[in-house]
Amino acid sequence: MAYGSITAREQQAKFDLDLNDTLGEFELVMSRFEKYGDPKAKPAAATNGAQAVPAVAAKSEPLTAPEKVTISWLLANVPVTWYLALVVSYVAAFGAGMTVASTKLGKTIVEWVTPAPSASKPAGTQ
């Protein structure tokens, strides 16, 4: 490792710091190896009669829609992130509509869409 133009004492201090960092990382790796085992090893089918945790989750059956979709079914089977995305999209659409409606073009469109008041006089007036 190049230390540049520093004294031998500073070089030794930097080397010792790097060495201590490396030893700390090595100890962490070794403790994880002792606790969890070899990460490349295939999991055993069973350990002491207990089921081993599979490396890959078992394939679940595809979710089929029930005959009648209810709110309770939706709450149980649709992730919360989908509901959040739906709310965010509604808020964004509302905000975009309000922004466009406040522009000159938006006001022109509102005038074009809004029916004009009728010019005929109400019955019974002259």
pLDDT in tens, 72-112: 888 888 899 999 999 999 999 999 999 988 899 888 888 88
Q: Residue 44: inside a domain, yes or no?
A: no
Number of structural domains the chain divides into:
2
Q: Residue 120: inside a domain, yes or no?
A: no
Q: Residue 48: inside a domain, yes or no?
A: no
Q: Per-residue DSSP letters for 81-98?
A: HHHHHHHHHHHHHHHHHH
End-to-end CA distance of the chain: 103
Q: Residue 73: inside a domain, yes or no?
A: no
Q: What is the pLDDT at residue 99?
A: 92
Q: Residue 124: inside a domain, yes or no?
A: no
Q: Residue 96: inside a domain, yes or no?
A: yes
- Residues spanned by the domain of 7: 1-39
Residue length of the chain: 126
**Average of per-residue pLDDT across 11-36:** 92
Half-sphere exposure of 84 (CA within 13 A, CB side): 3
